[in-house]
Structure 1
Amino acid sequence: MQINFAAIAVAGLSAWRRLKPSLLQETVVLPALGFAGVLALWWAIALLRPELMPTPPEAFVANLDYLLHPFYRRGPGDVGIGWLLLASLRRVVLGFGLATLVAIPLGFLVGMSRRAMLALNPLIQIFKPVSPLAWLPIALAIFNLAEPSAIFVIFITSLWPTIINTALGVSSVSQDYIDVARVLEMPRWRQITKIIWPASLPYIFTGLRISLGIAWLVIVAVEMLTGGLGIGFFVWDEWNRLNLNSVFLAIVIIGVTGLLLDYAVSRIQALVTHRAVARSNF
């Protein structure tokens, strides 16, 4: 009897697609397969370039000291990866926090006032696509110090997503709600706090999550150029030493930290809005 392997493969693939993933598959199995694929690709490239690229086990063994002692201090410039991460996080929190304090009120102003929108929207559209690193020379000229310059670059690049999303949320509030508030002679400040603010919160948090992602992305690039204590300078310094083991460690730490930051903001959003944050495929 002749076996049609192609038909069996197609039938098996169709059955797999019809299966609804279980909770274990969604949370453990499928993510593990994704990570395994990345590790396999890394391993394959390392086998092709063994003189430069370490394999995953080699990188793990070489970074054991960083992993087991993340907060050591052995000299002015020799500190653990934990201290470098905290230094970068401090700059991000300061720059992002200042940007949030400025961006949300500006977003409300743009969303509620057509005149403000006409005045500020051209500036937003001009400055939004400017590369973060283009702001660094200006910041260095103003502050003449690396630390405040890095915070300023994070501040200026974190503004635009929050402003745009806040303005979109404010302008998207149903006009029927505003008309009812006017019929009830509700003061403007009560309209803002009771109607516009709650309705705009999902948009605001979307902008905050985008801004925080940009801030964490920018700090690595800025620290590469300004130097000092931070995870970005660590990447650049280890590359200059041709130590790719530590570079891979830093990439993993940067990615995991960015994931945790976004998760923290999503949890705050769920607490503030009293609703679960919708999951996305991306």
Structure 2
Amino acid sequence: MKKLYALEKNIQHHPLTWFYIISILIVVATLLISILIGADAGLMKAFEKAGLQFNTDLVTAVRVILAAPEASFGVVLSLVSVASVDITVLVVVKIAYGQKGLADLKNRFRFGKKGMKWQHTISVWGTCLFTFSAMNLATGALNQIVLAPGDFTWNVNLFSSDFLVGFLIAMFLDAGAVFEENGWRGFTLPLLQSRFNPLKASIVLGLMWFGWHIPVKFDIFFYGFENALKLFFILMIKFVLLSIIMTFFFNQVGGMTIIAIAMHGISNDSVRLAGEILSDSYTVYLLTEIHLVIPMLIVAIGLVLKTKGRLGLTPDQ
């Protein structure tokens, strides 16, 4: 009992540290289980059986389970790995802040801060969706220019009903977005912004976000250690830049989690606004990641300069 009490007190004093450690431990544990039982290989076979491309949205997860019930455990295991962030944050917030902390997380599930003018909320959302879509399209254009036809295809129809439905699914039903943003933006970002200026808070969060992804993307090491280091460096830059951009729009709507979910989902691009990569070669992987970073770099620098590093944070947030 004394050890449990001491642990509880430690979590109360260092909630962010414990949140991060536990979430990574869950990811590592699910990864080891997946490797031991061969769930990853079974999952890819299930996608082939279902005739589906790999996507990160929950609709695809359900379709895979319906088409290949034998892969159900593998799908659930993958979702638990992604949900490690939100599972952990609920436990840590309950211990550290009690019901008040949980209520704060819940109150962030709005499209805009309570009392905020709806015209402002709609304007921010519109600008946000345009910005993230434009970044994806810019990446697609770079891929089209640089990559060989056999490595890349880009045939998205922006005005089809399938695209519009898929875009809504990407915004609000992406597994990573739904199961992570309660922790990253709903909990971690406000805590960091209470300690640092918004730019520094965004950089710290971006590095944390990247660090959490290292075990998730362990397969990068199959390209060789040196190549993996290069890829991880580009990924680190990507997560930091993406974090800066997301902080701006998050703050613009008063610190609401739903817009973070939408941004995360669109950036994962299950509708292939940036096109579809047909090759798994190291060179193509590296180039496509660089092409993702270039538009993000331009937007992030623009937002930092425009807001003088405040990234939309107001004195009352």
Q: Same fold (TM over 0.5)?
A: no
Larger Rg: 1
Q: Give the TM-score, by structure 1 length.
A: 0.28
Q: Give the TM-score, by structure 2 length.
A: 0.26
